[in-house]
Structure 1
Amino acid sequence: MNASPTPQALPLSRLLNHTADAVRAVRSGASLNEALAACPVPARPGTQALSFQVMRGLGRAQALRGQLARRAPPAWVDALLLTALALLCEAEEAGYAEHTLVDQAVEAVKQRERASSSFVNAVLRRFLREREALLAAVARDPVAQWNHPRWWIERLQRDWPEHWQALLSANNQRPPMTLRVNAARATAEAYLERLQAAGLEGTAIGPQAVRLDLPCPVSRLPGFEAGDVSVQDLAAQWAAPLLLEAEGGRLPRGARVLDACAAPGGKTAHLLELAELDLLALDSDAARLARVEDTLARLQLRAELKAADARQPEAWWDGRPFDAILMDAPCSAAGIVRRHPDVRWLRRDADIAQLAGIQRDMLEALWPLLKPGGRLLYCTCSVFKAEGQPQIDAFLQRHSEARQLAAPGHALPLPHNADVAAHPGPAAAAHDGFFYALLEKRPV
């Protein structure tokens, strides 16, 4: 049996080798994106598919390995063992029969660490024999049960006592592929007809938003290269309309706008699709800023791009105040774990306070750049409350000239979430987790 989306020409043992490399890299502190970039191109799609599944089941796999082998083997062998255990727990999702996974895992070890092949074979075959008892034993461990670090679980329990279990479960689901139809070209409903003609099915979930029934390569999307459509989650699509359309009215044509953390450029492009703006796209990472440039080029949009730290305006600001600022702040990414399943294993509890400090400093640095009557949209792709309203409440206490306008607040990545009713799109449409706060600078 092999219903896997991985390339059939590549032996599973080779993909398991590369997946173990990726798992070892993440456990050493590297991001999965970095690890996959080091993977040979032909093996990358299959390795990514397996790596994502392993990341979603890593907590349970680590607990099982602890039951099966009290002493951890060498780092790469351990990563291979964890990979195999995570896949065996969800073999149907991986698309391989259990005996195939075991045989190919042993073959993978023989290619790299032959002396450990008997050990890996014995551990994996014992797991198959004692599966039910072993799974029952580790199920008592919250990290194994929810496949998240203990601190993450406890933080969600404090922040969302009624939703924490649903949030953890949602993080282990495959994310939907959502499109943003270029407002200057068509509506979501009109683009659906083009999708159907191309043999793709989807649902309109917003004025410009289409959710595909099944993900597909962007090369299959009609008009993608021509700039007719982009890939962007529904919650991320709220940013541009929130900034452009506020209580004080729509931003005027030619308004001066700052996108303070622009990469990879989805929100930058959306702003320019909806309005004619004098827009400065800023990002501290020059390499990531190149992605913004590529995105704008594909969509035939123009903006000024600058690589600089938003917290140091003296190094890049020309002194002309902005009518509006989009501050998509650096954060824990706790709201987009479905798309980046390694994030949970890379973050530490202490990171949240450190990130909240960066967010505070960025707010303080950018606020003086906003003209009286202007507006600033603060957003994070996080479900942790420390990166949401408490940050804004503290800012409002420090700045009497600031007032908070209507905005979604925390939007949890759950269907039928009560908060979602206040947001664009149907309440049943699942989306990433975000926090939005819109601030206006009152004349003093």
Structure 2
Amino acid sequence: MTAPASPTPSAPSLQGPTLATQLRHTAGCVLAVEQGRSLSEVLPELVPALRPGVQALTFHALRHLGTARALVNQLVERKPAPPVQALMSSAVALLLDATDEHAPRYPAHTVVNQAVEAARQDRRTERQAAFVNACLRRFLREREALLAHVAADPVARWNHPLWWIERLQRDHPEHWRTLLEANNQPGPMALRVNRRRVERTAYQQALEAIGLTATPTGSDGLVLDAPQPVERLPGFAQGHCSVQDAAAQMAADQLLEGRAWTAADRVLDACAAPGGKTAHLLERADLNLLALDVDPRRCERIEDTLQRLGLQATVRSADAAQPAAWWDGQPFDAILLDAPCTASGIVRRHPDVRWLRRASDVDALVATQRGLLEALWPLLKPGGRLVYATCSVFRAEGDGQVQSFLVRHTDALHRPSPGHLLPGSAAPSGEFNDNPPGGYDGFFYARIDKVLP
């Protein structure tokens, strides 16, 4: 999974949407997440002029939602209707001290006034505008006491669901605090340079020529000092680079390292959309590559990605767990399984994920991952390699899944692999960590070779 860079918020211009309008739509986005909808569905529904500002405000609100909800609960005698609560939570999040340099900042009186105006703009909240005003002004008066009151609540302290916090405490007892803190900061914007079009050093110089500074990472990566619109990146439309986190770029290294590859080598990218890892493999080597994804619309994104980068692969919409429907019977030399997962490692870029997931989702996804591994292993030729990847920090989706697989398959050999990479500064040091600026997204990698008979 490739995640976008976090937006850099700014105050609206005189000609642009007012803060009240942005807050009204931010509350709508927060409410949609609370009702189970992903921001990747909700944000595209906004008109383009609203999207950047609302996305920035919504990301901030979701990064502080645990604290904001707890404070709202202290400010009211009865829980307000969901639209009112979403607006109040969004406003309270803006009134909190920011914990990252990219957070939106407005004078407190501006936030209160614009939140009241936002309430008046929406028929679901207009009758509660005075109530919103009273609660927010009370928060400003009693701020320190209210914050002290909610400080003992772990959800308010860490801005994650309790089950998520407890799982991280079990899975990463030495790093769980740092990991949760990292999740509440925006991730850096990393680029993957298309080596078929331009050398990385030359592309870095092209960035410097327009005033952008970047630091090399991995084999093909550059981490920008500050996020940029892709339209500003030299040669983006011509396929000179792609946006992809440094952790996601490690997939190609894991699959291709240690041998020469030719166009005769059959490679399967089993859950390929949106196509970033597919493209990286083809940028690195000539391969006979089949890219699968179960969603036809997401397959269109793979095609678009390959076209922009000047690459070719066979793209097919199919369920990788049902090979009888798509496999031609010829074994693969290598398989990349970037399996469906909780996405618990990319919360820096997708702050809604923590509020959308449920504890039961972990077990369900572990079962899906196991089914994919069992279905694809027979398709790998002896001597071939399978790379299992997830953008998760939960051990059940990483170490636990692989160790269980190795017990079931005596013809499987676990090769040296990165294992769990943790977000930001929580990432462990070691031979697989070049410590890119801002750290990695959370990921798991394991390379498993099929032993020759």
Structure 1 range deviating more: 121-130 or 85-94: 85-94
The equivalent of 1:124 in structure 2 is 136
CA distance in 2, matches of 1:326, 1:438: 9
1:232 lines up with 2:240 in the alignment: no
The equivalent of 1:425 in structure 2 is 434
- Report how far residue 32 of structure 1 moved: 1.2
1:153 lines up with 2:153 in the alignment: no
The equivalent of 2:31 in structure 1 is 24
Residue from 307, 327, 333 that aligns with 1:297: 307
CA contact (8 A) 1:188 1:207 kept: no
**Letter matched to residue 243 of structure 1:** L
Higher relative contact order (CA 8 A, sep 6+): 2
CA distance in 2, matches of 1:435, 1:375: 16
Residue from 343, 351, 376 that aligns with 1:341: 351
CA distance in 2, matches of 1:437, 1:220: 36
CA contact (8 A) 1:416 1:428 kept: no
Residue from 45, 53, 70 that aligns with 2:52: 45
**Letter matched to residue 391 of structure 2:** C
1:217 lines up with 2:222 in the alignment: no
5 Å matches for 1:195-274? 195-246=207-258, 249-274=259-284
Secondary structure at the counterpart of residue 41 of structure 1: coil
Structure 1 range deviating more: 183-192 or 18-27: 183-192
**Letter matched to residue 432 of structure 1:** D
Structure 1 range deviating more: 167-176 or 400-409: 400-409
Query: Residues 240 and 102 from structure 1, CA distance in 2 versus in 1: closer, same or farther, beyond 3 angstroms?
Result: same
CA distance in 1, matches of 2:252, 2:373: 19
5 Å matches for 1:45-124? 45-90=52-97, 93-112=103-122, 113-124=125-136
Residue from 437, 441, 444 that aligns with 2:450: 441
- Report how far residue 422 of structure 1 moved: 1.5
CA contact (8 A) 2:188 2:437 kept: no
Secondary structure at the counterpart of residue 396 of structure 2: helix
CA contact (8 A) 1:4 1:95 kept: no
- Report how far residue 116 of structure 1 moved: 0.3
- Report how far residue 119 of structure 1 moved: 0.4
The equivalent of 1:381 in structure 2 is 391
- Report how far residue 203 of structure 1 moved: 1.2
- Report how far residue 443 of structure 1 moved: 2.4
CA distance in 2, matches of 1:76, 1:353: 32
- Give unpaired runs (5+ residues) of structure 1: none
Structure 1 range deviating more: 250-259 or 302-311: 250-259
**Letter matched to residue 447 of structure 2:** L
CA distance in 2, matches of 1:429, 1:151: 27
CA contact (8 A) 1:310 1:366 kept: yes
The equivalent of 1:169 in structure 2 is 181
Secondary structure at the counterpart of residue 94 of structure 1: coil
Query: Residues 98 and 353 from structure 1, CA distance in 2 versus in 1: closer, same or farther, beyond 3 angstroms?
Result: same
The equivalent of 2:18 in structure 1 is 11
CA contact (8 A) 1:238 1:424 kept: no
- Report how far residue 286 of structure 1 moved: 1.1
Residue from 196, 202, 206 that aligns with 1:184: 196
Secondary structure at the counterpart of residue 34 of structure 1: helix
- Report how far residue 424 of structure 1 moved: 5.2
CA distance in 2, matches of 1:431, 1:380: 13
CA contact (8 A) 1:336 1:382 kept: yes
- Give unpaired runs (5+ residues) of structure 2: 1-7
Q: Which has the higher helix share?
A: 1
CA distance in 2, matches of 1:222, 1:137: 51
- Report how far residue 423 of structure 1 moved: 1.1
Report how many residues are paired. Answer: 439
Runs of 4+ in structure 1 deviating by more than 3 angstroms, as ranges, are 250-253, 426-429
**Letter matched to residue 296 of structure 2:** A
Query: Residues 416 and 388 from structure 1, CA distance in 2 versus in 1: closer, same or farther, beyond 3 angstroms?
Result: closer
Q: Deviations over 1:380-407 (max 9, x none)?
A: 0001000011111111111111111111
The equivalent of 1:135 in structure 2 is 147
Q: Deviations over 1:270-303 (max 9, x none)?
A: 0000000011110011111111111101001011
CA distance in 1, matches of 2:24, 2:427: 40
CA distance in 2, matches of 1:278, 1:80: 52
**Letter matched to residue 278 of structure 1:** N
The equivalent of 1:281 in structure 2 is 291
CA distance in 2, matches of 1:408, 1:373: 21
Secondary structure at the counterpart of residue 154 of structure 1: helix
The equivalent of 1:395 in structure 2 is 405
Secondary structure at the counterpart of residue 191 of structure 1: helix
Structure 1 range deviating more: 91-100 or 128-137: 91-100
The equivalent of 1:319 in structure 2 is 329
CA RMSD of aligned residues (A): 1.5
Query: Residues 70 and 288 from structure 1, CA distance in 2 versus in 1: closer, same or farther, beyond 3 angstroms?
Result: farther
Query: Residues 7 and 258 from structure 1, CA distance in 2 versus in 1: closer, same or farther, beyond 3 angstroms?
Result: farther
**Letter matched to residue 5 of structure 1:** S
Q: Deviations over 1:174-224 (max 9, x none)?
A: 110001111223333322110010111111123311111110100000111
CA distance in 1, matches of 2:237, 2:196: 15
CA distance in 2, matches of 1:42, 1:274: 38
CA distance in 1, matches of 2:244, 2:436: 18
CA distance in 2, matches of 1:194, 1:410: 34
**Letter matched to residue 362 of structure 2:** I
The equivalent of 2:3 in structure 1 is none
The equivalent of 2:360 in structure 1 is 350
Secondary structure at the counterpart of residue 250 of structure 1: coil
